[in-house]
Amino acid sequence: MAKIALVTDSTAFLDKETLEQYNIEVVPLYVNFENEVIVDGTIDNATFFYKMKKASKMPFTSQPSPGDFVKVYERLIQEGKEVISIHISSGISGTVESANNAAKIVGQSLISVVDSHSTSAGLAMMLITAAKALEEGRTREEVVAIMEGIKKKISLIFVPDTLEYLKKGGRIGGAQALLGTLLQIKPVLCLINGKVEAFDKVRTMKKALQRIVNELPTSSEGLHLAMINAETSKEHIEILEKLIEERLPGFSYKKYELSPVIGTHTGPGVVGLAFYQYP
């Protein structure tokens, strides 16, 4: 049986150790400032948001080109490997499309492209689940089936500090309705079917965080949970940690920073949770 390689994109924002441990290849997205292109994942969030604040024009993000994927896929196939390529939701990025186009060029029979319907910590946890399944000897088809199962139930719920960035980036989807609100609100958003939708609206951060935690299962059985944040205030992170501890005492989980590409759309100060139960 051929060896199977995992490919993802930079929005999963996995740390170097994890990538090496599970042999995961990363194809980066880009953040385009007026005079500079930043390869996603090559810059830390503090520097990035500082740059963004200083920039006279909002940067825009772009997906990898099919060519970026072709290079990676060809190399892996030459190494005699098959590929499972798991990516940021097609509802908010064209990355999956680029990957599919590349697969058509390189050879669809050897490459499975999966639309995660998620991103960031959600995508990261799916990759780890996939890597572990491969370690257990599952086939490409089996792993793809597991991913397809998870993407139906994965939740990514978050509170941006403001809706401004999502609005400017055009990735606001059904949360559009919240824009006309005259009263300042804390919008609780989520990815539903891979698109940004309004989940709830409250007036305070504490209530927003409580609202997110209320969505967590009450049992930690098979629970994959991670916190997402990007230059988020320590206070908000601590409140969320406390709420999770109250709901799932002793349960441990990782915290993921958002990659600059995602941060471009959410803005700094965002906080949220990604989770699913598997098996």
Partner 1 sequence: MTNNSKENVFLNGNDLRHMIMEACKYFEKYKEAINDLNVFPVPDGDTGTNMSLTMMAAAKELQTFASESIGEVARVAAYSSLMGARGNSGVILSQLFRGIARGLSGKEQARITELGRAFQYGIVYAYNAVSKPVEGTILTVAREIAKGSRAAIQTPLEFTDFLRIGIESGKKALERTPEMLPVLKEAGVVDAGGLGLIVFLEGCLHSMLKRTAQEQGTTYIDENETFSMVEISEQPAAKITSGNISEEFDPSLPYCTELIIKGSGMSSQKIRQSLEGLGDSLLVAGEDNLVKVHIHTGHPGDVLESCLAQGSIHDIKIDNMIDQFKETQWGRLSAKSQPVRPTGKVTGGIGVITVSSGEGLDAIFLSLGSDKIVSGGQSMNPSVKEIVDAVIEVPSDHIIILPNNSNIKLSAEQAADLVEKDVMVVDTRSLPQGLAAMLGLDKKKTLLENHQEMCERAKQVKTGEVTYATRDTTVNNIRVTKGSIIGISDGNLLICGSSVESATRDLINTILSDEDEVLTLFYGQDVTGKQAQEIVEILSGEYPDLEIELQYGGQPLYYYLLSIE
- To partner 1, the closest distance from the beta carbon of 272 in angstroms equals 18
Phi-psi region of 85 (alpha: psi -120 to 50; beta: other; left: phi over 0): beta
The structure tokens listed for 28 are 């980066």
56 binds partner 1 (CB under 8 A): no
Residues contacting 203, CB < 8 A, separation 6+: 183, 184, 185, 186
Of positions 202, 247, 277, 278, contacts partner 1 by CB under 8 A: 202
CA distance 136 to 157: 30
Structure tokens at 111: 């490459």
Selected binder of partner 1 within 70, 86, 190, 205 (CB under 8 A) = 205
The 150-189 contact track toward partner 1, x by CB under 8 A, reads: ---------------------------x--xxxxxx----
Q: Which is closer to partner 1, CB of 110 or CB of 185? A: 185
In the complex, least distance from residue 245 CB atom to partner 1, rounded to whole angstroms = 18
Q: Is 147 helix (H, G, I), strand (E, B) or coil?
A: helix
Long-range contacts of 20-24 (CB under 8 A, 24+ apart): 22/127, 22/128, 22/131, 23/131, 24/127, 24/131
- 277: tokens are 């139960």
Q: Which stretch binds partner 1 (CB under 8 A): 4-12, 108-116, 136-144, 204-212?
A: 204-212
The residue among 72 and 205 lying less far from partner 1, judged by its C-beta, is: 205
Q: Does 1 bind partner 1 (CB under 8 A)?
A: no
Q: How far is the CB of 178 from partner 1 (least distance, A)?
A: 10
The residue ranges that bind partner 1 (CB under 8 A) are 177, 180-185, 200-207
